[in-house]
Amino acid sequence: MSGESDVLAALRDIFARVSGQPDVILVPSMALSDVPLMDSLRLLETVALAEEHFGITIDTAQIESIATVGDIARLFEAPT
């Protein structure tokens, strides 16, 4: 697991791959509804690839509570 900047960088790479948008811009405060081409299927695919990347399994209830890019990042950040 990593800090926020490492997590966001990994999420950008993962979402760029999922969405086919190599120049995607993600910021923690961005609502998922504001992320171009983000939908429930791409969210699940993004989380699944992030789980694989970080070696973490996320509970379904946690996925259902995701509203922002920062919410996704916090799921994969190192505990403090």
pTM: 0.85
Give the chain's domain count.
1
What's residue 5's pLDDT? 83
Amino acid 13 reads D
Residue numbers of the domain that contains 10: 4-76
Chain-centre distance for alpha carbon 1: 13
Contacts of 29 (CB under 8 A, 6+ apart): 68, 69, 70
pLDDT digits 0-9 by tens, 14-44? 999 999 999 989 999 999 999 989 999 999 9
Per-residue pLDDT band for 80 (boundaries 50, 70, 90) equals: very low
Contact 43, 68 (CB under 8 A): no
